[in-house]
Protein backbone atom coordinates (compact mmCIF):
# COMPACT_ATOMS: atom_id res chain seq x y z
CA UNK A 1 0.00 0.00 0.00
CA UNK A 2 1.51 3.37 -0.97
CA UNK A 3 1.90 6.32 1.37
CA UNK A 4 -0.56 8.28 -0.78
CA UNK A 5 -3.23 5.62 -0.34
CA UNK A 6 -2.68 5.51 3.43
CA UNK A 7 -3.40 9.26 3.58
CA UNK A 8 -6.39 9.05 1.23
CA UNK A 9 -9.81 9.17 2.88
CA UNK A 10 -11.52 5.82 3.18
CA UNK A 11 -14.81 5.46 1.34
CA UNK A 12 -17.19 2.76 2.57
CA UNK A 13 -20.08 1.75 0.33
CA UNK A 14 -22.81 0.01 2.30
CA UNK A 15 -25.94 0.92 0.36
CA UNK A 16 -26.81 0.63 -3.32
CA UNK A 17 -25.97 3.68 -5.42
CA UNK A 18 -29.05 4.95 -7.25
CA UNK A 19 -28.96 6.56 -10.68
CA UNK A 20 -31.20 9.51 -11.58
CA UNK A 21 -32.96 7.07 -13.96
CA UNK A 22 -34.24 4.98 -11.05
CA UNK A 23 -32.04 1.88 -10.96
CA UNK A 24 -29.16 1.04 -8.66
CA UNK A 25 -26.08 -1.11 -8.23
CA UNK A 26 -25.12 -2.67 -4.92
CA UNK A 27 -21.59 -2.06 -3.61
CA UNK A 28 -20.49 -5.52 -4.77
CA UNK A 29 -21.95 -4.90 -8.25
CA UNK A 30 -20.13 -1.53 -8.33
CA UNK A 31 -16.92 -3.42 -7.55
CA UNK A 32 -17.68 -5.81 -10.44
CA UNK A 33 -18.23 -2.82 -12.74
CA UNK A 34 -14.93 -1.25 -11.62
CA UNK A 35 -13.03 -4.47 -12.35
CA UNK A 36 -14.74 -4.87 -15.73
CA UNK A 37 -14.01 -1.23 -16.57
CA UNK A 38 -10.30 -1.75 -15.92
CA UNK A 39 -10.32 -4.91 -18.05
CA UNK A 40 -12.09 -3.15 -20.96
CA UNK A 41 -9.63 -0.26 -20.70
CA UNK A 42 -6.63 -2.61 -20.84
CA UNK A 43 -8.23 -4.24 -23.90
CA UNK A 44 -8.16 -0.88 -25.68
CA UNK A 45 -11.42 0.92 -24.97
CA UNK A 46 -11.16 4.60 -24.04
CA UNK A 47 -11.49 4.98 -20.27
CA UNK A 48 -14.88 6.70 -20.05
CA UNK A 49 -16.31 4.42 -22.74
CA UNK A 50 -15.00 1.39 -20.84
CA UNK A 51 -16.57 2.68 -17.62
CA UNK A 52 -19.95 3.32 -19.29
CA UNK A 53 -19.97 -0.13 -20.92
CA UNK A 54 -18.91 -1.81 -17.67
CA UNK A 55 -21.65 -0.11 -15.66
CA UNK A 56 -24.32 -0.79 -18.28
CA UNK A 57 -23.30 -4.45 -18.67
CA UNK A 58 -23.25 -4.93 -14.89
CA UNK A 59 -26.70 -3.33 -14.67
CA UNK A 60 -28.04 -5.72 -17.33
CA UNK A 61 -26.46 -8.69 -15.54
CA UNK A 62 -28.04 -7.54 -12.28
CA UNK A 63 -31.49 -7.34 -13.92
CA UNK A 64 -31.13 -10.81 -15.45
CA UNK A 65 -29.52 -12.40 -12.37
CA UNK A 66 -30.41 -10.43 -9.23
CA UNK A 67 -28.04 -10.87 -6.32
CA UNK A 68 -29.12 -12.69 -3.20
CA UNK A 69 -30.10 -10.31 -0.39
CA UNK A 70 -27.00 -11.04 1.68
CA UNK A 71 -24.72 -9.99 -1.22
CA UNK A 72 -26.64 -6.75 -1.68
CA UNK A 73 -25.91 -5.78 1.93
CA UNK A 74 -22.14 -6.40 1.89
CA UNK A 75 -19.98 -3.33 2.43
CA UNK A 76 -17.11 -2.45 0.14
CA UNK A 77 -14.35 -0.30 1.60
CA UNK A 78 -11.68 1.42 -0.49
CA UNK A 79 -8.96 0.82 2.12
CA UNK A 80 -9.15 -2.94 1.48
CA UNK A 81 -8.72 -2.69 -2.28
CA UNK A 82 -5.71 -2.23 -4.55
CA UNK A 83 -5.24 1.43 -5.49
CA UNK A 84 -6.31 1.04 -9.13
CA UNK A 85 -9.55 -0.76 -8.19
CA UNK A 86 -10.21 1.73 -5.39
CA UNK A 87 -9.80 4.69 -7.76
CA UNK A 88 -11.99 3.06 -10.41
CA UNK A 89 -14.67 2.22 -7.83
CA UNK A 90 -14.91 5.91 -6.90
CA UNK A 91 -15.21 6.84 -10.58
CA UNK A 92 -17.90 4.20 -11.13
CA UNK A 93 -19.81 5.52 -8.10
CA UNK A 94 -19.56 9.10 -9.40
CA UNK A 95 -20.74 8.12 -12.88
CA UNK A 96 -23.68 6.17 -11.42
CA UNK A 97 -24.75 9.19 -9.37
CA UNK A 98 -24.73 11.29 -12.57
CA UNK A 99 -26.00 8.61 -14.97
CA UNK A 100 -28.32 9.93 -17.69
CA UNK A 101 -30.01 8.85 -20.91
CA UNK A 102 -26.90 9.63 -22.95
CA UNK A 103 -24.86 7.21 -20.84
CA UNK A 104 -27.64 4.65 -21.28
CA UNK A 105 -27.51 5.03 -25.09
CA UNK A 106 -23.70 4.84 -25.14
CA UNK A 107 -23.83 1.71 -23.00
CA UNK A 108 -26.05 -0.01 -25.57
CA UNK A 109 -23.69 0.67 -28.49
CA UNK A 110 -20.88 -1.87 -28.75
CA UNK A 111 -17.43 -0.33 -28.98
CA UNK A 112 -15.33 -1.38 -31.93
CA UNK A 113 -11.63 -0.65 -32.14
CA UNK A 114 -11.79 -0.24 -35.93
CA UNK A 115 -14.19 2.72 -35.46
CA UNK A 116 -11.58 4.54 -33.41
CA UNK A 117 -8.81 3.66 -35.88
CA UNK A 118 -10.92 5.09 -38.70
CA UNK A 119 -11.27 8.35 -36.79
CA UNK A 120 -7.48 8.63 -36.43
CA UNK A 121 -6.81 8.20 -40.14
CA UNK A 122 -7.15 11.31 -42.27
CA UNK A 123 -10.13 11.12 -44.60
CA UNK A 124 -9.33 10.31 -48.19
CA UNK A 125 -9.84 13.23 -50.58
CA UNK A 126 -13.15 13.14 -52.46
CA UNK A 127 -13.07 12.03 -56.07
CA UNK A 128 -13.06 15.02 -58.43
CA UNK A 129 -15.39 13.36 -60.94
CA UNK A 130 -17.99 12.66 -58.26
CA UNK A 131 -18.42 16.33 -57.32
CA UNK A 132 -21.32 18.10 -59.05
CA UNK A 133 -20.46 21.25 -61.00
CA UNK A 134 -20.91 24.44 -58.96
CA UNK A 135 -24.05 26.44 -59.69
CA UNK A 136 -23.73 30.02 -60.95
CA UNK A 137 -25.02 31.60 -57.78
CA UNK A 138 -23.20 29.23 -55.46
CA UNK A 139 -21.03 30.83 -52.87
CA UNK A 140 -17.41 29.80 -52.99
CA UNK A 141 -16.37 28.26 -49.72
CA UNK A 142 -12.89 27.59 -48.58
CA UNK A 143 -12.42 24.07 -47.30
CA UNK A 144 -9.99 23.89 -44.40
CA UNK A 145 -9.19 20.45 -43.05
CA UNK A 146 -9.38 20.12 -39.30
CA UNK A 147 -6.14 19.41 -37.45
CA UNK A 148 -5.42 15.78 -36.57
CA UNK A 149 -6.49 14.70 -33.07
CA UNK A 150 -3.85 15.03 -30.38
CA UNK A 151 -2.57 11.84 -28.85
CA UNK A 152 -3.29 11.62 -25.12
CA UNK A 153 -0.60 9.86 -23.07
CA UNK A 154 -1.64 6.36 -22.07
CA UNK A 155 -1.16 7.14 -18.38
CA UNK A 156 -3.75 9.91 -18.44
CA UNK A 157 -7.30 8.71 -17.91
CA UNK A 158 -10.28 11.02 -18.05
CA UNK A 159 -12.20 11.30 -14.83
CA UNK A 160 -15.78 12.31 -14.28
CA UNK A 161 -16.00 15.36 -12.03
CA UNK A 162 -17.91 14.92 -8.80
Q: 18 forms bridges with which residues in the sheet? A: 24
Let me know if residue 61 belongs to a domain: yes
Instruction: Give the dihedral of Cα atoms 62, 66, 67, 69; nearest 10 deg.
Output: 130
What residue numbers bound the domain in which 98 lies? Answer: 28-114
Residue 37 domain flag:
yes
- Look at 50 and 6; give whichever has higher pLDDT: 50
| Number of domains the chain is built from | 1
Asked whether residue 100 is domain-assigned, the answer is: yes
pLDDT, tens only, 19-31: 999 999 999 999 9
The residue length of the chain stands at 162
The pTM for the full model equals 0.64
Q: In this structure, is residue 73 part of a structural domain?
A: yes
Instruction: For residue range 78-132, list pLDDT tens digits in order.
Output: 999 999 999 999 999 999 999 999 999 999 888 665 544 444 444 444 444 444 4
Is 159 within a domain? no
- Smallest CA-to-CA distance from 104 within 48, 150, 56, 149 is with 56
Does 9 map to a domain?
no
On whether residue 3 sits in a domain, the answer given is no
Amino acid sequence: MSLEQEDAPVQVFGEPTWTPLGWSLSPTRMLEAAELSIRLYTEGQPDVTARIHAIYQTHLNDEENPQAAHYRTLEVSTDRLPEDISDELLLVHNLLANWNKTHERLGRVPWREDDEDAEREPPSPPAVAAAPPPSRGAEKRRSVPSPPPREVPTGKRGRVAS
